[in-house]
Amino acid sequence: MRPSGRDLSEMRPVSIETGVTKHAEGSCMIRMGDTHVLCTATIEDRVPPFIKGSGLGWVTAEYGMLPRSTTSRMRREASAGKQGGRTVEIQRLIGRSLRAGVDRVALGERQITVDCDVIQADGGTRCASITGGWVALKLAVNKLMKAGDVLSDPLVSPVAAVSCGIYAGQPVLDLDYPEDSEAGVDGNFIMLADGRLIEVQMSAEGATYSRDQMNQLLDLAEKGVGELVAAQMAAVA
């Protein structure tokens, strides 16, 4: 039995509320159980120097956790004068995951920055950020298309992410914090809507895992991503 009482292949309740901020070109609040992330997308008519003049667009991301998103207050990284290694790793993951679903030629020479701010954390914050980040990105792109600034949709596929792991010897979908903190194996799976993989992060936290277990986790992840893509499409419809 999982601490939450969910079935092994059951996701936490997922909701995506769009248009939650006034100024961003695209925004949403994604809630996966008790993990809540605010995602905003900003369009800028510039690109990083390394692709300037190439005609290619760029999608990047920033990620952060509010001080009381967890059970005890975390110090703001700004007060420490630098971002922590975990933050840098996660925002790079979000950026390259979202770029995997973008036709950068169709986007044109502009940059879209997706900001993901964790309001409340209960496991799976990077997966929620990627999933909600795509919704914010899609809403921003829709504005570009409506204004005639891009001629065809540069988003070739939804991008979503979900965690899976081995908890109490069983493969489970969408780990919350009590499971994540005790899982023998922990993984994050980022996919396109058709199930093609963008990235897999798997680690043995307390026990090694077999090829068969890896396949079971992939099957669970594909099911979970399918449900998340359905929620994404409903949010942007």
Binding region: 86, 124-126
Binding residues for phosphate: 86, 124-126
Token look-up 């290694």 returns: 85
**Sign of dihedral through CA atoms 165, 168, 170, 174?**
negative
C-alpha 77/C-alpha 84 separation (Å) is 7
